[in-house]
C-alpha cells in the first residue's frame, strides 16, 4: 500500500494494536511515529516495532502526512489545542476516539479537516481487527482509499454512510472483544470450579471460542442459529445450557449492553 508518513498522537492500547498490525503487514516502521508523554509507553513501541517515538505532538504531527488521533476522548481537546497552528490542508486526519464527532474535531483543530473517523478494535494487533469508517462525502477519494487500506492492513473494514453509524460500530465491534473476553472469563471461572487447573480451563475455553469463531468464518452461508442447532442434540446437554441462557434472557441482556455502549458514546459526544 501507499507508504505515507503517519503520526499516532497517543500510543496506548489501541494505537499499539494498529501499529503492531501495520508493521506485521509490511508497513515501513520508519514511516511511523507515535507520541506519548511517558517514556514507559514510548520505549516498548520503539523497541518492539522499530518505529519513531517522541513526546512532541506538534513536531510529529507537523512532519506527518497522516495524523491518527489516538488519545482518550477526555484529553482530545487539550491535545488538539496546540496543534491548531498547523496547516492541515494537505494532511489526512484519522480519529479513532469514541464519542467525539467530526464537527467537534474540526472545532478542536480550528479548521475543516480532511477527516476519517475510524472505530477499530484491539484484535488489529494480530491482523484480525474489525474497523468501522466514516468520512463526509467531501473527502477526496485518495484519502478515503488510504484510510481504508490502512485499516485493511490490520483486519476487515466496514464503511458507514451516516456518522451515527460509528456508535453502532462501537457496540458491535469496537467494544465487542471485551464482551467475548467477559464470557470466556465466566466460563473459565466455572471450569476451574468444576476441577480444572487455570491453564486447563483457559485452554478448554479459548480453543472452543477459536473453533466456534473459525467455523462461523468457514461457513459464510450457514446462519449462526444453524451452527448452534448442530451442537444442540435434542434432549441433550447443550439444550439444557441454552435453555438456561434463554431463561436468563441472554439476548435481551446483550441487546441492552450494546444499547448502553451506544448511549454512552452519545453522552460522550455532549461531554467532550
Ligand atoms: N482500547 C480500545 O479497544 C479502543 C479504543 N478506542 C479509542 O482509542 C483511543 C485511545 O484509547 P486507548 O488506546 O484504549 O487508551 P490508552 O489510555 O491505552 O492510551 C492513551 C494514550 O494517550 C497518551 N497520551 C496521554 N496524554 C497525551 C498527550 N498529551 N499527548 C500525546 N499522547 C498522550 C497516553 O500516554 P501515557 O501513557 O504516556 O500517558 C497513552 O499512550 C480512545 O479515544 C478510545 O476511544 C477505539 C476503539 C477501541
Ligand atoms: O471503551 C471505550 O470507550 C473504547 C471504545 C471502544 C473500545 N474501547
> What ipTM was estimated for this complex?
0.99
pLDDT tens digits, one per residue of 195-236: 999 999 999 999 999 999 999 999 999 999 999 999 999 999
Domain 6-163 indexed as CATH 3.40.190.10: no
Please give the pLDDT value at position 206: 98
Mutation to probe ligand 1, out of 37, 53, 174 (largest number of atoms < 8 A from CB): 37
Distance 104 CA to ligand 2 centre (A): 18
Neighbours of 176 (CB within 10 A): 18
CATH 1.10.3730.10 residue ranges of the chain are 176-269
For 250, the 3-state DSSP assignment is helix
Q: What number of other Cβ atoms are within 10 A of residue 101's Cβ?
A: 21
Q: Which ligand is nearest to the CA of 176?
A: 2
Tens-digit pLDDT profile for residues 140-183: 999 999 999 999 999 999 999 999 999 999 999 999 999 999 99
Which ligand 1 atom sits closest to the C-alpha of 79?
Answer: 29
- How does strand 32-35 pair with strand 6-9? parallel
Q: Whose C-alpha lies nearest to ligand 2, atom 3? A: 98
Cα separation, 113 vs 93, whole angstroms: 7
Q: Which residues contact 234 (CB under 8 A, 6 or more apart)?
A: none
Confidence of residue 108 (pLDDT cuts 50, 70, 90): very high
Q: Tell me where in the chain the CATH 3.40.50.720 domain(s) lie.
A: 6-163
Contact yes or no for 145/103 (Cβ under 8 A): no
Q: Is 114 in the pocket of ligand 2 (CB under 6 A)?
A: no
Is residue 57 part of an annotated ligand binding site?
yes
Q: What is the pLDDT of residue 141?
A: 97
What pLDDT is stored for residue 243 in this prediction? 98
Mean pLDDT rounded to a whole number for the chain = 97
**Fold classification of 176-269 (topology level):** ProC C-terminal domain-like fold (1.10.3730)
Is the whole-model pTM more than 0.80? Answer: yes
Q: Please report, for residues 26, 131, 217, the alpha-carbon distance to residue 177 in angstroms, rounded to integers and kept in the order given.
A: 25, 12, 16
Residue written as grid cell 517515538:
53
Query: Is the CB of residue 117 less than 8 Å from the CB of residue 166?
Result: yes
Amino acid at each position: 500500500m501507499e507508504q505515507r508518513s503517519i503520526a499516532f498522537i497517543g500510543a496506548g492500547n489501541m494505537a499499539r494494536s494498529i501499529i503492531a498490525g501495520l508493521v506485521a503487514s509490511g508497513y515501513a516502521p520508519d514511516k511511523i511515529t507515535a507520541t506519548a508523554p511517558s517514556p514507559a509507553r514510548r520505549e516498548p513501541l520503539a523497541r518492539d516495532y522499530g518505529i519513531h517515538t517522541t513526546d512532541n505532538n506538534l513536531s510529529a504531527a507537523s512532519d506527518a502526512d497522516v495524523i491518527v488521533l489516538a488519545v482518550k476522548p477526555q484529553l482530545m481537546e487539550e491535545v488538539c489545542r496546540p496543534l491548531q497552528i498547523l496547516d492541515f490542508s494537505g494532511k489526512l486526519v484519522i480519529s479513532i476516539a469514541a464519542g467525539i464527532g467530526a464537527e467537534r474535531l474540526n472545532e478542536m483543530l480550528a479548521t475543516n479537516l480532511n477527516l476519517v473517523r475510524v472505530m477499530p478494535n484491539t484484535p488489529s494487533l494480530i491482523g484480525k481487527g474489525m474497523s468501522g469508517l466514516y468520512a463526509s462525502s467531501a473527502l477526496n477519494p485518495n484519502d478515503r482509499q488510504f484510510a481504508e487500506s490502512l485499516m485493511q492492513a490490520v483486519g476487515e473494514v466496514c464503511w458507514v454512510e451516516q456518522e451515527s453509524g460509528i456508535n453502532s460500530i462501537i457496540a458491535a465491534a469496537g467494544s465487542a472483544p471485551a464482551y467475548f473476553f467477559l464470557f470466556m472469563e465466566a466460563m473459565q471461572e466455572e471450569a476451574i470450579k468444576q476441577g480444572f487447573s487455570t491453564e486447563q480451563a483457559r485452554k478448554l475455553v479459548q480453543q472452543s471460542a477459536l473453533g466456534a469463531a473459525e467455523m462461523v468464518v468457514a461457513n459464510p452461508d450457514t446462519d449462526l442459529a444453524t451452527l448452534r442447532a448442530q451442537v444442540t442434540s435434542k434432549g441433550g446437554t447443550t439444550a439444557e445450557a441454552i435453555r438456561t441462557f434463554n431463561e436468563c434472557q441472554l439476548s435481551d441482556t446483550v441487546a441492552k449492553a450494546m444499547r448502553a455502549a451506544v448511549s454512552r458514546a452519545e453522552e460522550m459526544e455532549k461531554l467532550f
